[in-house]
Amino acid sequence: MSNSGAQHFLASSNPQSGDKAKQEFAGAVTANARADFALSVKHGMVKANKGTPQQQAFALMHKAMKASLKREYQDAEYLLRQALKLDDKNRMIYAALGEVLELMNKPEKAILAHIDALRLDPSNSKSMSYIGSYLMRLNQDEEAINYLDAAVKFDPANATALARLIYLRRRNCDWTDLARRDKKVQVFQEANTAIDPFALLSLIDDPALQKKFSLKVAALHKVGQTYTVFERPRAQGRKIRLGYFSNDFFDHATMFLLGRQLELHDREKFEIYVYDYGVVNKHDGRQRAEDAADVYRHVADKENDEISEIARNDGLDIAIDLKGYTKENRVNIFNNRLAPVHVTYLGYPGTTGLGEMDYMIADPVTVPEKYQRHFSEKILYMPDCYQPNDNQRTASKVPLRADAGLPEDAFVFCSFNSPYKVSPEEFDIWMKLLKLVPDSVLWFYAPNDKVQENILKEAKKRGIGPDRIVFAGFAGQKEHLARLQLADVFLDAFAVNAHTTASDALWAGVPVVTKTGKQFAARVATSLVHCAGVPELAVATPQLYQALALKLARDKDYLAEIKARVKEGIKTGPLYDTEKFTRNFEALLEKTLERFNAGLKPDHISLK
């Protein structure tokens, strides 16, 4: 079955149609017999087991799951196919095979394994969830939503399917599942399964719940550890070796922030290693990372254990994760010791829950002392803001408002956050602002037609016509920095603030109005505006948020004053002082190594 054929089959099949669905699934499987994969070099790998064929198959499946977590996918596939020879009526084995084939980038075979699993139990919520998740990874959002929705209908307590369903709908500004938000939140609070921490970020501003699921996901991905004893003291008589691990070494938000810091590391004290597990690319961001590194290693084709061994052989002193639970992460590499000190930084605004992750980079605003308990890591406190920025960035020529589709004389509120961050709570306020400021428009980032359609529908519900919304699509970094200067005020989202987008806006001289929340993701913009010298732009309640935005729109003198202070803060303050940031960052890392050399356990560290 071709990929498009598989998608058509999934879209046309109704999971609730009983015998008809079973016949359709059976027919699809019969017409698409799976290739018989044999791993000849591994003959003898599986020893004879005692017990029934079903018990032996179950044991093989568990071995396969462990192999998969180590990214030993060929071994995992072989084990699962051996298990199916013993028990071809086990839905769980088919489901596991589907997941492994997905990871091996074999989507056509993967979907057939998932179909086999659902064929055996057409009303199984977990199988529907697997298929929906598979489609989600292919960015087939509409069809993924159909299956995840069915999964939730069959089992309202399927928290994993519910979280992904809400996240996918929010990616398109479809707020269907937020109508009875309290009941949905209760499902997550009561769930005892591992739910994607990232999918929950925008739904609930609850750092305790974020930690709960980070711990569960970390435990799920934990495989047999390799205990490594590192000699003390480290780095005496030589440079300290820092290793950065990510797949975002391309033209990505992480590199827009981090690139200059990599270049400014003190080469008298530090050697920089980059471990890139992303796809090979020709982006400027990747080239910049390679040029900035003393040693650049592309390790996408390596298993986790291999990467761990490479890092240890490189003699790293400090290993730095830049991903957390963001897309296509391999944070579980850090389950094994890569270096005496492990640090998570920048990529994910929350705890990893990994027992082997020693520290997290933050600042006194993003993680005040009273919230330290919500992190499994100890906090390394940057004195100003945890976020690095590039003081050498440049913008293209500022376009005309007409070129951006903006009315020449309108007051422009803008929202350039990713659409999934926006909720009805913020949007209600934005629509009230448009009513209270008659000559205003909302300039909204909408990367596709579905987002535009849903936003216009939501605006209409609130009495706002389509002429008051102006949509903006994707733009390159320099073009985006240029167009931002056409805006008057940036309106932030609540549970997940603007991160790179907020520092972009401030760099462009645009005030960012934000509400300070509880979880790290909901406090980032507060940290940024404090660092830019305009702390009054961060408020405590939705009511104050609306009042502040309204004052900026109505009081031209106040707006001019705030804009002048933003520009001065960017010019003379610490937010874009990359040299100072890098020295502070290095000083914190040196303190972690001092603790290790002294035989002390990790602890919260600041430079005060």
Which CATH number belongs to the domain containing residue 488 in this structure?
Answer: 3.40.50.2000
Q: What is the mean pLDDT of residues 83-87?
A: 97
Of 41-45, 49-53, 422-426, the one with minimum mean pLDDT is 41-45
Residue 206 has pLDDT above 90, yes or no: yes
pLDDT over threshold 90, residue 412: yes
Rg over alpha carbons for the chain, rounded to the nearest Å, is 25
* Distance in angstroms (rounded) separating the CA atoms of residues 555 and 488: 12
Q: Indicate whether 355 and 461 sit together in one domain.
A: no
Cα four-point dihedral sign 97, 101, 103, 104 = positive
State yes or no: pLDDT of 491 exceeds 60.
yes
The CATH code of the domain that includes 77 is 1.25.40.10
Identity (one letter) of the amino acid at 57? Answer: A
Q: Please, is 365 exposed, middle or buried when counting C-beta atoms within 10 Å of its C-beta (0-12, 13-18, 19+)? A: buried
Of 77, 98, 122, the domain-final residue: 122
- Residue 137 pLDDT grade (very low, low, confident, very high; cuts 50, 70, 90): confident
Q: What is the pLDDT of residue 57?
A: 96
Quote the pTM value.
Answer: 0.87
Q: What digits encode the pLDDT tens for the residues 208-227?
A: 999 999 999 999 877 666 67
> Residue 399 in contact with residue 477, Cβ under 8 Å?
no
How far is residue 569's CA from residue 531's CA, in Å, rounded to a whole number?
8
Q: Is the pLDDT of residue 10 over 50?
A: no
- Say yes or no: 475 and 591 in one domain: no
Q: Does the pLDDT of residue 39 top 90, yes or no?
A: no
> Is the pLDDT assigned to residue 372 strictly greater than 70?
yes
325 and 418 together in one domain: no
| 434 and 362, same domain (yes or no) | no
When the pLDDT of each residue in the chain is averaged and rounded to a whole number, the result is 91
Say yes or no to pLDDT of 8 above 50: no
Q: How many CB atoms lie within 10 A of CB 507?
A: 22
Q: Are 430 and 562 members of one domain?
A: yes
Name the more confident of 364 and 608.
Answer: 364
Q: Is the pLDDT of residue 358 over 50?
A: yes
Burial of 565 (0-12, 13-18, 19+ CB in 10 A): middle
pLDDT, position 103: 83
Distant-in-sequence contacts of 474-481, Cβ < 8 A, 24+ apart? 474/447, 476/251, 477/251, 477/256, 477/393, 478/394, 478/395, 478/396, 479/395, 479/396, 480/416, 480/504, 481/393, 481/394, 481/395, 481/396, 481/507, 481/508
pLDDT higher than threshold 60 for residue 185: yes
pLDDT band for position 139 (50/70/90)? confident
Is residue 139 assigned to a domain? Answer: no
Sign of the CA dihedral 285, 291, 294, 296? positive
Mean of pLDDT values over 91-102: 93
Residue at which a domain ends, from 72, 90, 122: 122
What are the angstrom distances between the C-alpha of 102 and each of 136, 186, 220, 263?
Answer: 12, 31, 18, 37
465 and 518 together in one domain: yes
Cis ω on the peptide bond leading into residue 233 (within 30° of 0)? Answer: yes
- Residues 446 and 342 both lie in one domain: no
HSE on the CB side for 342, CA within 13 Å? 24
Q: Residue 16 pLDDT > 80, yes or no?
A: no
Q: What is the pLDDT of residue 555?
A: 98
248 within a domain of the structure (yes/no): yes
pLDDT for 70 equals: 83
Of the pLDDT bands very low, low, confident and very high (cuts 50, 70, 90), residue 49 is low
The rounded distance, in Å, linking the Cα atoms of 455 and 193 is: 33
Task: Write the CB contacts of 451 (distance below 8 Å, at least 6 apart in sequence).
Answer: 172, 173, 419
- Asked if pLDDT for residue 193 goes beyond 90, the answer is no
Ramachandran region, residue 346 (left: φ > 0; alpha: ψ -120 to 50; beta: rest):
left
Sort strands 295-298 and 359-362 into parallel, antiparallel or unpaired: unpaired
Name the β-bridge partners of 444: 415, 471
Q: Is residue 193 part of a domain?
A: no
% the chain with pLDDT above 70: 91
Q: Which residues contact 13 (CB under 8 A, 6 or more apart)?
A: 21, 24, 25
29 assigned to some structural domain: yes
Is the pLDDT at 286 greater than 50, yes or no?
A: yes
Statement to judge: residues 328 and 470 lie in one domain: no
Whether 467 maps to a domain, the answer reads yes
Range of the domain at 52: 3-122
User: In the prediction, which pLDDT does 106 show?
Assistant: 85
User: For 173, left (φ over 0), alpha (ψ -120 to 50), or beta?
Assistant: left
Tell me, what's the pLDDT at 225? 60
**Could you tell me if residue 174 is inside a domain?**
no
Q: Dihedral (C-alpha) 525, 527, 533, 535: value to the nearest 10 degrees?
A: 80
How many domains are there within the chain?
3
Whether residues 346 and 468 fall in one domain: no
Domain boundary residue, one of 88, 105, 122: 122
Residue 213 falls inside a structural domain: no
Residue with tokens 């051996």: 82
Q: In the structure encoding, which two tokens stand for residue 454, read together?
A: 């849903």
> Residue 318 phi/psi, 5° resolution?
-135, 125
Q: What is the pLDDT of residues 233-263, one digit of tens each?
A: 999 889 999 999 999 999 999 999 999 999 9
Q: What is the DSSP letter of 408?
A: T
In a domain, 184, yes or no: no
State the CATH number of the domain containing residue 265: 3.40.50.11380
Judge if 464 and 425 occupy the same domain: yes
Q: How confident is the model at residue 26 (pLDDT cuts 50, 70, 90)?
A: very low
Identify the residue whose tokens are 């002082």: 577
129/106 Cα distance (integer angstroms): 19
Kindly state whether residues 425 and 566 are assigned to the same domain: yes
Q: Give CA 39 to chain center in angstroms.
A: 35
Residues 366 and 474 in one domain: no
